[in-house]
């Protein structure tokens, strides 16, 4: 057991809780933090970050949903003696151009890259687990996934692979310094194909419906989303339609020395656990 503590932010979320479990298994001393974790950490309350950062040598950073706070976090991390940061970001963040999507992640990348700390950025494609732990779960259970996703496929990645990659990078000081990895699954699927696989494995009738970005934005607002947040999600689909994010990469293998998990593997596991039981 090392005396070094690794801070895991977003520790109750899809990646953070999986990263923390892997690190603990590996014998690393872990401090999990978020607004509802034992160590409280709120991106909007820098005054309260001290306990989270105490005696930390490395941190897994899930950025906040707004641009800005990671700059102060990096400064505070340097002052606290943190040496390494692993940042979660989005696939192709340097190709998003004038889009309003992902300003939060791009700001976090700038903060981490501009620091004197050892850093690694993990840019992930859309997660498989968005279909059972996040945005697409409720529509699937209701039997219709309506998205402005079009015919351009997405190389969905299993969050288990993102967590494996983060844990591997955190366990190998120096080896991934200054690297940005574009983490994808092994093959790209359209959202219609993804819905079809989920329908087959779960036995639930599910249809895919193509809608425009404006219709999707309106539907999210009707569900209670703020207009700006709804527009940002719709904007992600506009970016995907450009096709620049559709090709799978070899970066999971570059970090882990093995191929990424398939979408089918994810679907079978999630269906067996009852994820889409109505």
Ligand X SMILES: NC(=O)c1ccc[n+]([C@@H]2O[C@H](COP(=O)([O-])OP(=O)(O)OC[C@H]3O[C@@H](n4cnc5c(N)ncnc54)[C@H](OP(=O)(O)O)[C@@H]3O)[C@@H](O)[C@H]2O)c1
Residues that bind ligand X (CB under 6 A): 10-16, 34-37, 41-44, 62-64, 88, 90, 105, 124, 126-127, 130, 134
> How far is Cα 198 from Cα 143, in angstroms, rounded to an integer?
11
Task: Quickly count: other Cβ atoms within 10 Å of residue 47's Cβ.
Answer: 6
For the bound state, the minimum distance from the C-beta of residue 217 to ligand X, rounded and expressed in Å, comes to 18
Instruction: Select 97 or 203, whichever has its Cβ closest to ligand X.
Output: 97
For the bound state, the minimum distance from the C-beta of residue 43 to ligand X, rounded and expressed in Å, comes to 4
Instruction: Select 3 or 44, whichever has its Cβ closest to ligand X.
Output: 44
Residue with tokens 């269906």, as numbered in its chain: 271
For the bound state, the minimum distance from the C-beta of residue 183 to ligand X, rounded and expressed in Å, comes to 9
- How would you label 14-26 residue by residue, b for 16+ Cβ within 10 Å and e otherwise? bbbbbbbebbeee
Name every residue whose Cβ is closer than 8 Å to that of residue 233 and which is 6 or more positions away in sequence: 135, 216, 217, 220, 225
> How far is Cα 9 from Cα 23, in angstroms, rounded to an integer?
13
Instruction: Select 43 or 191, whichever has its Cβ closest to ligand X.
Output: 43
Instruction: Select 37 or 202, whichever has its Cβ closest to ligand X.
Output: 37
Instruction: Select 130 or 210, whichever has its Cβ closest to ligand X.
Output: 130
Instruction: Select 115 or 126, whichever has its Cβ closest to ligand X.
Output: 126
Phi, psi (degrees; rounded to nearest 5) at 68: 125, -60
Task: Quickly count: other Cβ atoms within 10 Å of residue 82's Cβ.
Answer: 23
For the bound state, the minimum distance from the C-beta of residue 134 to ligand X, rounded and expressed in Å, comes to 6
> How far is Cα 187 from Cα 255, in angstroms, rounded to an integer?
18
The HSE-up count of residue 127 (CA atoms within 13 Å, CB side) is: 21
The residue with its CB nearest to ligand X is 13
For the bound state, the minimum distance from the C-beta of residue 157 to ligand X, rounded and expressed in Å, comes to 8
Instruction: Select 64 or 185, whichever has its Cβ closest to ligand X.
Output: 64
Instruction: Select 197 or 245, whichever has its Cβ closest to ligand X.
Output: 245
Q: Is 181 exposed, middle or buried (0-12, 13-18, 19+ CB in 10 A)?
A: buried
Q: Is 272 exposed, middle or buried (0-12, 13-18, 19+ CB in 10 A)?
A: exposed
Name every residue whose Cβ is closer than 8 Å to that of residue 94 and which is 6 or more positions away in sequence: none
């Amino acid at each position: 057991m090392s005396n070094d503590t690794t801070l895991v932010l977003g520790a109750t979320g899809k990646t953070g809780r999986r990263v923390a479990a892997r690190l603990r298994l590996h014998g690393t001393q872990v401090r999990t933090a978020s607004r509802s974790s034992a160590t409280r950490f709120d991106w909007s309350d820098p005054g309260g970050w001290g306990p989270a950062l105490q005696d930390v040598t490395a941190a897994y950073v899930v950025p906040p949903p707004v641009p800005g706070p990671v700059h102060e976090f990096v400064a505070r991390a340097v002052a606290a003696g943190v040496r390494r940061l692993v940042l979660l970001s989005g696939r192709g963040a340097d190709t998003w151009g004038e889009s309003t999507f992902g300003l939060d992640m791009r700001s976090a990348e700038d903060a981490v890259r501009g620091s004197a700390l050892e850093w690694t950025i993990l840019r992930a494609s859309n997660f498989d687990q968005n279909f059972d732990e996040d945005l697409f779960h409720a529509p699937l259970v209701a039997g219709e996934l309506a998205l402005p996703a079009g015919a351009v496929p997405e190389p969905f990645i299993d969050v288990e692979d993102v967590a494996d990659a983060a844990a591997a990078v955190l366990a190998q000081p120096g080896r991934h310094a200054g690297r940005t990895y574009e983490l994808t699954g092994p093959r790209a699927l359209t959202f219609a194909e993804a819905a079809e696989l989920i329908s087959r494995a779960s036995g639930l009738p599910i249809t895919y419906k193509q809608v425009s970005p404006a219709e999707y934005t309106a539907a999210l607002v009707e569900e209670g989303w703020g207009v700006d947040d709804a527009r940002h999600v719709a904007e992600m689909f506009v970016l995907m339609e450009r096709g620049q994010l559709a090709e799978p990469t070899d970066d999971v293998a570059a970090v882990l020395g093995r191929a990424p998990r398939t979408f089918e593997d994810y679907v079978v596991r999630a269906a067996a656990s009852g994820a889409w039981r109505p």
